[in-house]
């Protein structure tokens, strides 16, 4: 049960970040999705798709992790790793989305 709550909270944070960014970037039809090592934008996506990508990917990944932690029996000695692992995955998605939004903001300011 706690696994589902942690996942739901992480998804809510990601969706709220995307909604806020959608308001901030509403004047741009397309947003950067990938950058080269020199900082130039390789390709863009429509704004809604660019902002929904990470929350959707996180939802699928977190659902799989929740299912795995509830459906499978851990090996001896690994009983306490399910919740910390789920929190780690959720935090990585929040950090990656924060980084992506920062890169978008930086690229838009430079152009």
Domains of the chain, residue spans: 2-110
The whole-number pLDDT of residue 79 equals: 85
The whole-number pLDDT of residue 94 equals: 98
Q: Contact at 8 Å (CB) between 97 and 14?
A: yes
pTM of the predicted structure, to 2 decimals: 0.91
Q: Contact at 8 Å (CB) between 21 and 1?
A: no
Tens place of pLDDT per residue across the chain (111 aa): 899 999 999 999 999 999 999 999 999 999 999 999 998 999 999 999 999 999 999 999 999 999 999 898 888 888 889 999 999 999 999 999 999 999 999 999 876
Q: Contact at 8 Å (CB) between 62 and 89?
A: yes
The label of the residue with tokens 């929740």 reads: 66
Q: Contact at 8 Å (CB) between 46 and 29?
A: yes
């Amino acid at each position: 049960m706690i696994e589902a709550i942690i996942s739901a909270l992480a998804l809510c944070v990601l969706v709220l970040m995307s909604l806020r960014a959608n308001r901030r970037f509403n004047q741009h039809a397309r947003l950067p999705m990938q950058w080269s090592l020199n900082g130039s934008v390789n390709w863009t996506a429509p704004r809604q798709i660019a902002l929904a990508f990470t929350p959707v990917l996180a939802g699928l990944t977190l659902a799989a992790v929740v299912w795995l932690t509830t459906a499978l029996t851990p090996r001896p000695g690994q009983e306490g790793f399910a919740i910390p692992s789920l929190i780690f995955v959720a935090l990585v998605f929040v950090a990656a989305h924060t980084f992506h939004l920062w890169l978008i903001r930086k690229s838009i300011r430079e152009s």
